[in-house]
Amino acid sequence: MTGVPIMIIQLLLSLSFLVIIHECGHFFPAKWFKTRVEKFYLFFDPWFSIFRTKKGDTEYGIGWLPLGGYVKISGMVDESFDTEKLKEEPKPWEFRSKPAWQRLIIMLGGVTVNFIAGFLLFSLILGIWGEQYLPNNSVSEGIVTDSIAREMGLRDGDKILKVGEKEFTRFEPMVLRKQIGINNASTITVIRDGQQVSIPVAERWASDLSGNKFKDFDLIGPRALATIGSVEPDAPAQKAGILPGDQLISVNDQPAKYWHEYRKIQRPTKSDSMIIKVSRNQQEQSFPVLSRADGTIGIGVENNLRIDTTKYGFFEAIPAGVTKGMIFMGDYLKSLGNIFKGKTKASESLGGFASITKLFPKVWDWEQFIRITAVLSLILAVMNLLPIPGLDGGHVIFLLFEMVTGKKLSDKFVEKATMVGFFLLIALMVYANGLDVFRIFKK
């Protein structure tokens, strides 16, 4: 199975894992403090549930609406708005009867687990697969650019030295996007034609590169010489006399020194002759080649780029994973800050479930699945800490107010605030998913 179905399956598995561990973060502290938990649900269950069973005081189940999950704690104002019991005197097993510090631990449990899970998943990736990267100094032929990078001022053959003040030591196109879109880098320093050049970056690129507008563009890639790595047996190239190690020069007099140039050439779609010029032992030779019906001639790419791998032992992977998680959270908070400051358009940056689904690859890849789950875990933790009633962060603000002032906010106030926050969150969810729908029809 490949394509969209496998992407959706990965999304559901990832979100299910994250929701379960998040709710466990509330569930177990509640149990430790002898607070009754009435329900523990994966997904929401308005009107009916797919599965449910009861053990002790708690009903465990799976809802039909995959928008998250919840634990229903006795005596707590939450999104269920079941406030009838709040009219009665507090019971010893209810959330509202517990000391503020215990209630604070219960509320912080979910985001704490998500933070820990994100860090550990990054550590797991480093411990199993290590960290592969392309050293920038091995990209001897410079970069190849797409239309967006060229509009920014980059050119094929440029060798990037710095983006803003960050040294470009690893060839990672995402660094270019991140430094401009999140950290507002205003210059790109390159070597062009043997000279160091500072390319100014227009302000609009900070917004464009941090949103959805150009998210499908790679911007840059490593430029590679069109050196033939293999020739298929009995293929047109072999019959013409082309050998592995030959360096392409042109096809029908069109430059093809680099692989990206070769791929751009419009070759015949039916059996037809083309003239391929190559360099062999520093001498130019030309070969008439009768192409296949699809225009191919049976040659393979020689990968002359050096990929390095940093390996991590157990005790090295954990701090390295925490560092990666902290760097990601710092970038994510900066991107949120840019939205609030108006530097980035919310309509370009926000997305719903379709946008999240697109994060996953179209084939199953454990490393990518774990990496995206780690990212989503940290995002879930940060978002839940926002001081909005209805989120964990809203409850935390109320509890901190109580602990500082010694005055407990009334259940009625918390109920009203939670209702307002809940409808704001629903509106935001509708808006984000609406943006996904709009983008689909806009294409």
> Please, are residues 149 and 352 in contact by the beta-carbon 8 Å criterion?
no
Q: Where are the alpha helices (DSSP H) in 292-313?
A: none
Q: Which of 36, 39, 27, 26 is nearest to 98 (CA)?
A: 36
Residue 229 in tokens: 């790595």
Tell me which H or E stretch contains 262.
helix 259-264
Six-digit token pair at 166? 């960050």
**pLDDT given for residue 58 in this prediction:** 92
Question: Which neighbouring-strand residues pair with 199?
Answer: 188
User: Tens-of-pLDDT digits for all 443 residues of the chain?
Assistant: 578 889 999 999 999 999 999 999 999 999 999 999 999 999 888 888 899 999 988 999 999 888 788 899 988 876 655 666 666 777 888 888 899 899 999 999 999 999 999 999 999 999 999 999 999 988 999 999 999 999 999 999 999 999 999 999 999 988 898 898 888 899 999 999 999 999 999 988 888 887 777 777 889 999 999 999 999 999 989 999 999 999 999 998 899 999 999 888 866 555 567 899 999 998 999 999 888 877 788 998 887 788 899 999 988 999 999 999 999 998 888 887 877 776 677 666 777 777 888 888 888 889 999 999 999 999 999 989 988 887 888 889 989 988 888 888 887 788 788 888 878 878 877 777 776 776 666 65
**Alpha carbon of 201 to those of 147, 232, 331: distances in Å?**
15, 45, 19
Phi, psi of 130 (to 5 degrees): 70, -160
Q: Which residues pair with 242 in a beta bridge?
A: none
Number of neighbours of residue 358 by Cβ within 10 angstroms: 17
The single-letter code of the amino acid at 399 is: L
Provide the angle, in degrees to the nearest 10, between the axes of the packed helices 100-129 and 366-384.
160
Q: Nearest-5° angle of CA 17, CA 389, CA 82?
A: 80
pTM for the model: 0.84
pLDDT at 279: 94
The order of strands in the sheet holding 166-167 is: 166-167, 159-163, 187-192, 195-200
- How far, in Å, CA of 90 to CA of 77, rounded? 13
**Which run of H or of E encompasses 43?**
strand 37-55
Residue 20's SS3 state is: helix
